[in-house]
Amino acid sequence: MIALATPFESAPLTPTVGTPRRRRRGRPVLPGFGTTAAVTSLVVISLVVIPLTVLVARAASLGPAGFLTAAWTPRARAAYGVSLGASTLAAIASTLFGLVVAWVLARVPFRGRRLLDAFVDVPLALPTAVAGLVYSALYVKQGWLGAWLVPLGVQGAYSYLGIVLVLVFVSLPFTVRVVQPVIESLDRDAEEAALILGASGGQTFRRVIAPAIAPAVVTGFAMALARSLGEYGSVVFISGNMPFKTEIAPVLIVARLEEFAYAEATAIAVVLLALSLALLVVINVLQYRLARSAAGGAS
């Protein structure tokens, strides 16, 4: 059709008769809204909202001064330091290792790749207590790994290093599995174009690949950090739990609980909670951005 001007608005054909009857917005067509809403709310409120609210309320009842006294003792500060420090180191290491593993799984065909892929999920299924137990057994002087590490001066068990090692274990699946699909769906055309234009492998990686996978890598780091901050079961076995040296915040909370020092335990728990929730928000934002760039970008 060859149109030359914008169409005029056409008037309705039939004049309206009768009174339109106004109704409320219709009810859902699919059944089950009421039941599922009730069950879901019940569970979420009683299991998530109320417990955490009670926790925060209890901490708040200390008053700002009381809270600070409880949450900011020297030992607590040391515990935060150990938690944050070890978690960050572990997250960095885990991200690097995870990137290598993800790359290899996604790009390099080799015999046994499927097996390697299957092992990556082990930390998700293995109880953390088992991990902690085994790591401490491995890295002591008599252990399989300690036997040649300890003489070299590397103390894996009952040390800060031990914490980092075990946190790498628990966070590895996250750093691998977030990055792996992104690498798998990279646009090969862009890389080939770069090579044809004369870029070296390293340049191609730096300029074409790295920017594409950066969001996933950062997301993986954040998830590893979040996972590590809250970890308790494995660290308890391997750190030696020495206050001011290798005591992480969760361990301190438990110690205070066992002394019935509820106020202090609650205060420290709230600090940890705030940190975790902040990280949760960051991760959600990162994942949202990741999904957006995957939809609009290189796949």
Please list every residue from 95 through 114 that binds another protein, using CB under 8 A: 97, 100-101, 103-108, 110, 112-114
Backbone phi and psi for residue 10, each to the nearest 5 degrees, phi listed first: -95, 145
CA distance 109 to 298: 22
Asked if 142 interacts with another protein (CB under 8 A), we say no
Q: Does 292 bind another protein (CB under 8 A)?
A: no
Task: Tell me if 160 contacts another protein by CB under 8 A.
Answer: no
- Applying the rule CB under 8 A, the residues between 220 and 239 that interact with another protein are 226, 229-233, 236-237
Residues in 33-52 at the binding interface with another protein, rule: CB under 8 A: 33, 35-37, 39-40, 43-44, 47-52
Closest distance of CB 65 from another protein, Å:
21
Task: Compute the distance between CA of residue 145 and CA of residue 54 in angstroms, rounded to an integer.
Answer: 45
- CB of 118: closest distance to another protein in angstroms? 6
144 binds another protein (CB under 8 A): yes
Residue 150 touches another protein, criterion: CB under 8 A: no
In whole angstroms, the minimum distance from the beta carbon of 70 to another protein comes to 13
CA 7 to each of CA 1, 10, 13: distance values in angstroms, whole numbers, following the listed order: 13, 8, 17
- Note whether 211 binds another protein by CB under 8 A: no
Task: Report the candidate in 247, 244, 245, 251 with the shortest Cα–Cα distance to residue 265.
Answer: 251
Told to check if 11 binds another protein by CB under 8 A, we report yes
Under the binding rule (CB under 8 A), the answer on residue 203 touching another protein is: no
Q: Which of 162, 169, 220, 224 binds another protein (CB under 8 A)?
A: 169
The residue from 159, 204, 219, 241 that contacts another protein (CB under 8 A) is 204
Rounded to 5°, the CA angle 158-162-168 comes to 160
- Binding of residue 28 to another protein (CB under 8 A): yes
Give the integer Cα–Cα distance in Å for 128 and 136: 12
Write out the E strands in 131-214. none
Which amino acid is located at 199 in the chain? A
134 binds another protein (CB under 8 A): yes
Q: Which stretch binds another protein (CB under 8 A): 66-74, 213-221, 253-261, 288-296?
A: 253-261
Q: Does 250 bind another protein (CB under 8 A)?
A: yes
Question: Does the footprint of another protein cover residue 129 (CB under 8 A)?
Answer: yes
Q: Give yes or no for residue 148 binding another protein (CB under 8 A).
A: no
Sequence letter at residue 136: S
**Residue 167 structure tokens:** 């946190």
Q: Find out whether 241 and 251 touch, Cβ atoms under 8 Å.
A: yes
Site membership for another protein, residue 89 (CB under 8 A):
no
- Residue 229 tokens read as 């901050």
Contacting residues for 253 by C-beta, under 8 A, at least 6 apart: 265, 268, 269, 272
Full 3-state SS string of 73-111:
CHHHHHHHHHHHHHHHHHHHHHHHHHHHHHHHHHHCCCC
Phi, psi of 44 (to 5 degrees): -65, -40
Measured from the CB atom, the residue of 12 and 153 that comes closer to another protein is 12
Which of the ranges 62-70, 74-82, 126-134, 212-220 carries the binding residues for another protein, by CB under 8 A? 126-134
Site for another protein (CB under 8 A): which residue of 86, 149, 191, 247?
191
Report the candidate in 229, 205, 201 with the shortest Cα–Cα distance to residue 94.
Answer: 229
Closer Cβ to another protein, 72 or 262, answer by number: 262
Tokens of 30: 């699919």
Interface with another protein, residue 297, by CB under 8 A: no
